Amino acid sequence: MNPMNHSKTLFVLLAFAGLALYPLMAGNYGIDLVTKMMVYAIFALSLELLVGTTGLICFGQAAFFGIGAYAAVLLPAQTDAPSLLWLLPACVLAAAVYALAVGALSLRTKGAYFIMVTLAFAQMAYYVVHDTPLGGGTDGIYLTLKPVLGTLIDLDKPLVLYGFTLLMLAGVFGFLALLARSRFGRALAGIRVNEQRMRATGFSTYPYKLAAFVISGGIAGLAGFLFAVKDGFVNPEMMSWHLSGAVLIMIILGGLGHLRGALIGAFAFALLQEFFKSEAVFGDFARHWHLGLGLSIIASVVLLPRGLVGLPGQLRARLVGRSNLQGARHEAV
C-alpha cells in the first residue's frame, strides 16, 4: 500500500475508533453535540459526492435533508412507535425521489444556471412546509414517538442514537469510498475534470450525473431523518438556503475532493459554531457569533486553500522548504 494511502486509512480508522470510545468519557451534552456533528458529517458527505466528486455545485441540498426529516415525522402513525425497518428506508426514498425530479430537470442546465435551478427547487420545498398545514407552518412539528427496532434499538435513548448515528456515518463513508473506486466513481471523476472529453470517449454523462444526484439526495435524506429523531422536532428552517450554504462551507473548509475533508469540515464547522456561541468565552459578543464564524472561515480559506485536510501536506512542504534553504545556506558558507 502507498504510504500516503496508508496514513489516510489510519487517520480514518483512528477517527472512527475515537468516536466509538467517546461516550465512555462524555456527559449527556457532549454525546448530544457529537451526535449532531456526525449527522452534519453525513450531510456533508452527501454534498461531497456532488461537488467534490462530480463537480456539480448544488445549492439546494437542504431540501433533501428537510424532506428526510419531515418524512420521519409525517409518515408514521401517532399512536405507536414506528418501526425503524420501514421508516428509515421510506425517508431516504422520499428524499431520493425528490432528488430524481429535481436532477432530471436541473441537470439539463450548467454553471450558474444549475446552481440557481437547484436553489429554486429547494425554495419551493421550503415554502410548501412553511406556508401550508402539511408541514405545520412556521411552528414546525414535534416527533412524539421515536423509531424502534423491537427491543434491540430504541432511538429515544441518547446512547443508542449515538451508536446508530455512528454506524450510519461509517456505512455512508464506506459506501462512498467504494463508489469512488468503482467504474461509476471513475466516470464521475472524469466528468468533473472534463465532461466534453468523457462524451467524446462514448460516455453518456447525463445518466451518471443523475444517478449521483439521486444517491446524494438519498444520503441527505438519511441525515435529515437522524436530525429529526435527535431533536424530536422539525421546522421549515431545515430546508432554508442558509443550511445549503452551511453544508457547502463545511466541505470547502474540510477540503474539496476528499471524503475525509467532509468529515473534518463538518466537525470543524460545528465546533467553531459552539465556540463562538459560548457566553463563557465571549460574553455578550456571543450573540454575534456569526461574525466570528465568518471571519474564521475566511481566514481558513485564505491560509488553507486545500482545506483542513491539506494542512499536514502544507506544513510538510514548508518544513522541507525551510530545511532545503538552510542546507543551501550551509553549503554557501
- Scan for cell 510538510, then name that residue: 316
Q: Which of 12-21, 163-172, 315-324 bottoms out in mean pLDDT, i.e. has the lowest? A: 315-324
> Binning pLDDT at 50, 70 and 90, where does residue 130 land?
confident
pLDDT tens column, 178-188: 999 999 999 99
Q: Is the dihedral of CA 193, 199, 202, 205 positive or negative?
A: positive
pLDDT value of residue 326: 58
Q: Alpha helix locations (H) across the chain?
A: 3-21, 28-48, 61-74, 84-106, 111-131, 158-181, 183-193, 195-200, 205-231, 241-254, 259-277, 279-282, 289-303, 311-332
More confident residue, 326 or 192: 192
> Binning pLDDT at 50, 70 and 90, where does residue 217 land?
very high
More confident residue, 154 or 103: 103
Distance separating alpha carbons of residues 314 and 312, to the nearest angstrom: 5
User: Structural domain boundaries of the chain?
Assistant: 18-293
Residues near 312 by Cβ (< 8 Å), separated by ≥ 6?
none
What DSSP letter does each residue of 216-245 carry, written as one string? HHHHHHHHHHHHHHHHTEE-GGGGSHHHHH
Tell which residue, 278, 229, 280, has the closest CA to residue 42: 229
Specify the 3-state DSSP secondary structure of 282. helix
Q: Assign a CATH topology to domain 18-293.
A: ABC transporter involved in vitamin B12 uptake, BtuC (1.10.3470)
192 φ/ψ angles, rounded to the nearest 5 degrees: -65, -40
The mean per-residue pLDDT over the stretch 320-324 comes to 61
Burial class (CB in 10 A: 0-12, 13-18, 19+), 326: exposed
pLDDT value of residue 330: 52
pLDDT tens column, 53-77: 999 999 999 999 999 999 999 988 7
Q: Are residues 265 and 308 in contact, defined by beta-carbon separation less than 8 angstroms?
A: yes
pLDDT value of residue 332: 47
Helical (H) or strand (E) element with 142: strand 141-142
pLDDT value of residue 4: 61
pLDDT value of residue 291: 87
Count the residues in the chain: 333
> Binning pLDDT at 50, 70 and 90, where does residue 284 land?
confident
Give first-to-last CA distance, the chain, whole Å. Answer: 41
pLDDT value of residue 324: 58
More confident residue, 297 or 329: 297
Tell which residue, 57, 93, 54, 91, has the closest CA to residue 74: 91
Give yes or no for residue 124 having a pLDDT over 80: yes
> How remote is the C-alpha of 212 from its chain's centroid?
15
Tell which residue, 250, 262, 233, has the closest CA to residue 69: 233
Percent of the chain residues past pLDDT 70, beyond the cut: 94
How far is CA 88 from each of CA 94, 164, 179, 267, 307, rounded to the nearest angstrom? 10, 12, 22, 24, 33
Other Cβ atoms within 10 Å of 258 Cβ, number: 21
pLDDT value of residue 159: 93
pLDDT value of residue 277: 85
- Scan for cell 444556471, then name that residue: 113
pLDDT value of residue 2: 57
Residues near 148 by Cβ (< 8 Å), separated by ≥ 6?
81, 82, 83, 84, 154, 155, 156
Question: What angle, rounded to 10 degrees, do the helices at 111-131 and 84-106 form?
Answer: 130
pLDDT value of residue 99: 96
Give yes or no for residue 5 having a pLDDT over 90: no
> Binning pLDDT at 50, 70 and 90, where does residue 140 land?
confident
pLDDT value of residue 328: 52
Give yes or no for residue 273 having a pLDDT over 50: yes
pLDDT value of residue 153: 85
83 φ/ψ angles, rounded to the nearest 5 degrees: -80, 135
pLDDT value of residue 262: 92
The mean per-residue pLDDT over the stretch 236-265 comes to 91
More confident residue, 271 or 202: 271
More confident residue, 333 or 128: 128
271 φ/ψ angles, rounded to the nearest 5 degrees: -65, -40
